[in-house]
Amino acid sequence: MNVPFPRGIELLNRDHSILAFNERVLDWAYRADVPLLERLRYLCIVSSNLDEFFEVRAAPHLIAVQAGDHKGAYSVATFEALAAAAHDLVARQYALYNDMLMPTFEAQGIKIISHGERNEEQRRWVRQYFERQVRPLLIPVSLDPAHPFPQVANKSLNFIVRLEGADAFGRHNDIAIVKVPRVLPRMIRLPEKVSGKLTLFVSLSSVIRAHLAELFPGRHVGQFSQFRVTRNSDLAVDEDDVEDLLTALREGLQHRHYGQAVRLEVSASCSEHLSSFLLKQFELPDLALYRVHGPVNLVRLTELVDLMDAPALRFTPYTASNAVHLAPGQSFFDRLKQGDMLIHQPFESFDGVLAFLRAAVHDPDVLAIKQTIYRTGSSTVLMDLLQEAVRQGKEVTAVVELKARFDEEANINWAEMLESIGAQVVYGVVGLKTHAKMLLVTRREGKGNQATLRRYGHLSTGNYNPSTARLYTDISHLTADRLLTMDMEHVFVHLASQSKLPKLNRLLLAPIQLHQKLIDKIEALGEAAALGKSTRIVVKMNALTDEALVRALVTAGQRGVRIDLIMRGACTLPAGVPGLTDNIRVRSVIGRFLEHSRVFYFRCEEDEELYLSSADWMNRNMMRRIELAWPVTDPVLRQRVIDECLVAYLHDTQDAWVLQPDGHYQRVSSLPDAPAVLHGAQDALMARYSGAAALGERRGRGR
């Protein structure tokens, strides 16, 4: 539902903007110039994104439907509009899967074969696989008063079966549920002896379907269908009402898989009787039902991508360059004394950040290491280094965010591990997520009474996760700047002790002053533009949904500020509306790597400021999270960020989309004035940092 906005402007709907982002990602699966396995991977990425969308965004709309609400931000109308958009996107996914991708795979000799397409030898192999690997793990449950509908976990694959005839006790219970164990692979590659020269796969669901009747001896299997339910997975923990947040979250995780149902997926052939039964069981309206013409869970097709040994059907491998170059005998700390360093990931390797931490761990003069932990994933490299630092006798402080969505369990485990070996673990400020990414090293330098303590810091727009650092674009900033590292020290103390924060020199901190400072900068440029001065705002980030910041941008644009917004995902600001937002352009770049860096540029005449940040311009980031923004003061590094993160993306004609006045995005390459030779920002950066000029000529490589 659109939100009323001053001067005749209506904000774009956030949820629909998120779905529109997924449409742009899906476009890569359509593109014939993208390698085939990568096209399938993009299809899976969209399905994974939709899973998270329903897990996080759908519940308020559904609650409004169940309550019969017809007014407000969430209502029957918003649910119906959102469901219509989601159904359309899902239909496009499966049409692409069936009509384009699978025929193209088959032309390459690669096929997922159904039971009806298997020859006798293949059926025999599948039967043996079923008997050895699958059947021992299946326990069909017939429903009766003693066996009620079983708990069905979030996103798990299941079969519902309608049985005919009487059971062993003469009863006519006609519904049974078969849970498909998650430990089993969803895609099975047939061996060469039964597939010949082709590359053949069978899905686990087709293996079970082919032998479904054997699970119910003495009964006749009539109607049946796969089904999958998606549940609300937002953990709601009232921090003011719990004594032990870690314990409360661990208990909450046990129930996440069984939260409120928000979506039901079934096979397209599912009968009305069975689908109605399931909708009633999960207390869902008809529009929450998604009939799909293909695998109920497209996400698991990533297994097929991983099982294939076909380099020609994948992106050309990219090896990140080494951003850290030390002179012979030079330490990391001596290098930082000469000036700041930037690492543009993944074009440059995240190994430079690990090298900084490794140098701190093994340097006998380093006394203390402080670090925030938001999403480190399952990688142990970082944690191994922190453990080693404790063993080396250094003071290690870890600010662990336990409420990092879908990483809660991993972070709880890391927190407990670090505490067990003597690290100081804190969980930030009650009621706020610690989303800031910073690492601070304190080192003793000099001898005797002349010794002093000096700080070295790392700040980042992204997470301390070596895996995603190869897939996400982010900026790492390494510094020995006295004022900046002093600010970092103050923030760490503030998070640990929750004492009053002193005035910061360079850092902008949410929720204390970041939001207002950004508004002040935007308004100041608006005032300057009204006086006839040349002004410019360019912002690159993941999302813009905060109403106050949108209002400030709109007003500044109306006063003459030229504004470019490079938005990966949700954006509620309607750009290019004649007479209202003429001075504002919004573009979205979807490439091989996931755009993740946050860069804020403000210019008035010759004076320019550039900030890097952990924060998107969303209300939650500004008001309910610990976030940082910091200036890049070195003019050479500042220009580098401008060139690589802003100018390159503003001139992208290959992977960019432009928001139209009607709220829809259009690919730049499809516009009437599109150039004949297309330019991709990510391709250019890969070429620059790999030294391979051929990469700059490659087209259609992206997410």
State the pLDDT at residue 206: 95
State the pLDDT at residue 700: 35
- For the cut 70, the answer to whether the pLDDT of residue 406 exceeds it is no
State the pLDDT at residue 695: 39
Q: Indicate if the alpha-carbon torsion angle 381, 384, 390, 392 is positive or negative.
A: negative
State the pLDDT at residue 21: 96
In the residue annotation, 273 being an active-site residue is answered as no
Indicate which residue of 435, 458, 490, 515 is catalytic: 435
Count of C-beta atoms within a 10 Å radius of residue 98: 12
How far lies 603's CA from each of 40, 525, 529, 533, in Å?
Answer: 42, 8, 11, 10
Nearest to 588 by CA among 658, 691, 501: 658
CA distance 199 to 132: 22
Fold match flag (6-30+36-313 vs 510-697)? no
Residue 696 — very low, low, confident or very high, per pLDDT cuts 50/70/90?
Answer: very low
Tokens of 227: 């089904």
Comparing 398 with 553, the larger pLDDT belongs to 553
Q: Domain segments of the chain: what residues?
A: 6-30+36-313, 332-505, 510-697
State the pLDDT at residue 697: 37
User: 25-34, 59-68, 236-245: lowest mean pLDDT where?
Assistant: 236-245
Per DSSP, the residues of 522-565 read: HHHHHHHHHTT--EEEEEEES-B--HHHHHHHHHHHHTT-EEEE
Mean pLDDT for the chain? Answer: 90
- pLDDT tens digits for 153-177? 899 999 999 988 767 666 667 899 9
State the CATH architecture for 6-30+36-313: 2-Layer Sandwich (3.30)
Q: Which CATH number fits domain 332-505: 3.40.710.10, 3.30.870.10, 3.20.20.120, 3.10.129.10?
A: 3.30.870.10
How far lies 350's CA from each of 117, 150, 337, in Å?
Answer: 47, 45, 21
- For the cut 70, the answer to whether the pLDDT of residue 361 exceeds it is yes
Q: Which residues touch 324 (CB under 8 Å, ≥6 apart)?
A: 332, 335, 341, 343, 351, 352, 355, 356
State the pLDDT at residue 119: 95
Residue positions counted in the chain: 703
CA atoms within 13 A on the CB side of 311: 3
Cβ–Cβ < 8 Å for 560, 529: yes
State the pLDDT at residue 174: 86
Cβ–Cβ < 8 Å for 290, 90: yes
CA distance 675 to 679: 9
CA distance 590 to 569: 9
Comparing 477 with 232, the larger pLDDT belongs to 477
H helix or E strand, kind and range, residue 603 = strand 598-604
State the CATH architecture for 510-697: 2-Layer Sandwich (3.30)
